[in-house]
Amino acid sequence: MAALNEKEFQNAFIQAFEGDDSGDRTPRQTPGKLYSRAAPTPVESPELLAWSKELATQMEIDPPSQEEVEILSGNKLTDSMQPYAACYAGHQFGNWAGQLGDGRAITLGEWSSKNGIFELQLKGAGPTAYSRHADGRAVLRSSVREYLMSEAMHHLGVPTTRALALVSTGDKVLRDMFYNGNPEYEPGAIVTRVAPSFLRFGNFELLAAQRETKKLQQLVNWTIDRYYPHLTESDRIIKWFEEVVQKTAFLMSEWQRVGFVHGVMNTDNMSILGLTIDYGPFSFLDHYDHSFTPNTTDLPGRRYAFGNQPSIGYWNLGRLANAISLLFEDTEELEKALESYEKIFWDYYYGMMGRKLGFEKVGKDEKELISRFEKVLSGIQPDITLFYRLLADLPSEATPEVIIKHLEPAFYNDLKPKEQEVLATLLTDYSKMRKNSRLSEEAIKRLMNRNNPRIILRNYLLHQAIEELEKGENKLFLRLQEAMKTPYASEGFEDLVQKRPQWAETKAGCSMLSCSS
């Protein structure tokens, strides 16, 4: 174990690449640079709101002293920290956006432990060269969401960046939450984010767009050496891209498994390590709806809706392939690797859906049934989390009436007779398949309950916890922090295992969110 203010931080990224070392934080273009140095801007009166003990143990970091809370709020740096903001570019909502970059995230350095090297980043620590017209700050609301959700995703078993700490800053931050001309002051906060790397597809796109072929080659080599060290052959760039394709496909299938909607799948928000990154207007699904998007900015086209995520993953990989195509004389292999996405995704997807339904293996009959489930559930739109947990306990030999009654707690509306009939037929066929399984009923239930979470961080719960915190009360926040550590447990936290209440259906911050954070 080591203390934050004593341990020597490493700075491998900025040692390896050319950056803008001026420390100037005036918004500007920085062609050819991979980062700009940027010191965090001090805050008024930082207070530690949360500390992730599990992650700290994994990283071998001591709990923070009051002096170290100053580090977590950007008020203090140690000698070995060389803070910087990374420069990247990206496609936003399908359009090329040019240079972007860490507008309010500042990397302090790299922390090494026997469990690996982790980058530490303060999100909301003040302006950088890439803040454009914004203030570089983050509000409590969005910071609480990122802190709780990234840790929840980790405990759900979904690849993600992590959150080590959450501090309130004591400063006020002006935000127009719904972009409707009603800005208000909100309490500010900072999340300490952690990941082996925060590199995004957009870092590669930036250098390609600037025709910086040598630097692009250098960044690709660095990424492979450091994060894909098993790739050592001369064809390692293509093998690396194949792995990024595979990791992205896996991530998309995992989001489908737990019902996570990211909300802003721009290429600057796509991790090169296949992690869930940049938590903004995300949401879990309550009712099952492929067209659901939590992001108000996404409403016109629903580009980032739940059901579109896998194909957007592919589209984004296409942008990455395009960027690194500069390094290939012949792009045939690259195109082949990109095209392999579809099969890889569907293999993951059917395997994943099979486990959700308790199948030992997925063949033709199981695939057919999975498709029927998709169709029927899309029509009925039950609460998808409650539905799968109830399904695990489906009584065998049940009549249609008993089946419907058993699943009733998951329905948001009364089912029409036709819907009841279709659902009962589907579940009778499903029960038959379950009975013919080589697995025992107990083994099937265990398999299902390991793959279908019981506790998810619903938006209305986050909303309530944030409202309380803004009033200085942290009871629900602490309960959510505890509950999300055991998302598959069969009991406990009964009050959190409920459908979205009716009041939350249309309430701002519960059903729809904006990027304003």
| CB of 142 vs Mg ion, minimal distance in Å | 12
Whether residue 383 lies in the annotated active site: no
- In the structure encoding, which two tokens stand for residue 171, read together? 């400063």
| Tokens found for residue 74 | 């950007």
Query: Choosing among Mg ion, ligand AMP, none, which partner's interface includes residue 157 (Cβ < 5 to 8 Å by kind)?
Result: none
**Residue placing its CB nearer to ligand AMP in the complex, 71 or 85:** 85
Distance in angstroms (rounded) separating the CA atoms of residues 346 and 285:
21
Select from ligand AMP, Mg ion, none the partner in contact with residue 515, using the beta carbon and a kind-dependent cut-off of 5 to 8 Å: ligand AMP
Lookup result for tokens 């499903």: 430
Chosen from Mg ion, ligand AMP, none, partner binding at 264 (C-beta under 5 to 8 Å by type): ligand AMP
CA dist., res. 405 & res. 311, Å (int): 36
Q: Which does 135 bind (CB under 5 to 8 A by kind): ligand AMP, Mg ion, none?
A: ligand AMP
Q: Give me the catalytic one of 268, 278, 286, 298.
A: 268
Instruction: Give min distance, CB of 312 to ligand AMP, in A.
Output: 15
Contacts 24+ apart (CB under 8 A), 58-62: 58/113, 58/115, 59/111, 59/113, 59/115, 59/118, 59/164, 59/194, 60/1, 60/2, 60/113, 60/114, 60/115, 61/1, 61/2, 61/3, 61/4, 61/111, 61/113, 61/164, 62/1, 62/2, 62/3, 62/4
The binder of 102, among ligand AMP, Mg ion, none, by C-beta within 5 to 8 A per type, is ligand AMP
Q: How far apart are CA 68 and CA 166, in angstroms?
A: 13
- Smallest gap from Cβ 265 to ligand AMP, in A, equals 10
Binding site residues, ligand AMP, CB under 6 A:
100-104, 130-131, 134-137, 264, 268-269, 278, 280, 515
Q: How far is the CB of 278 from Mg ion (least distance, A)?
A: 4
Closest CB to Mg ion among 269 and 309?
Answer: 269
Smaller CB distance to ligand AMP: residue 452 or 516? 516
Q: Phi/psi at 433 (nearest 5 deg)?
A: -65, -40
Q: Which is nearer to ligand AMP, 210 or 420 (CB)?
A: 210
Rounded to the nearest whole angstrom, what is the least distance from the CB of residue 517 to Mg ion in the complex?
A: 10
Please name the residues in contact with 149: beta carbons below 8 A apart, sequence gap of 6 or more: 279, 282, 457, 462
In the complex with Mg ion, the residue whose CB is nearer, 144 or 444, is 144
Q: Which is nearer to ligand AMP, 89 or 480 (CB)?
A: 89
Q: Which is nearer to ligand AMP, 30 or 449 (CB)?
A: 30
Alpha carbon 325 to chain centroid, angstroms: 27
CB of 418 to ligand AMP, least distance (A): 42
Tell me the closest approach of the beta carbon of residue 161 to Mg ion, in angstroms: 11
SS3 sequence of 483-497: HCCCCCCCCCCHHHC
What ranges in 268-363 are assigned the alpha helix state H?
Answer: 309-324, 332-339, 341-357
Nearest residue to ligand AMP, using CB?
A: 103
Among the residues of 11-139, which ranges form H helices?
Answer: 12-16, 53-59, 66-72
The partner in contact with residue 451, picked from ligand AMP, Mg ion, none with C-beta cut-offs of 5 to 8 angstroms by kind, is none
**Amino acid of residue 178:** F
384 token code pair: 């998808």
- The interface partner of residue 280, options being ligand AMP, Mg ion, none and the CB cut-off 5 to 8 Å by kind, is ligand AMP
Whether the CB-CB separation of 223 and 208 falls below 8 Å is answered with no
Q: Which of 277, 244, 243, 242 is nearest to 262 (CA)?
A: 277
Active site residues: 268
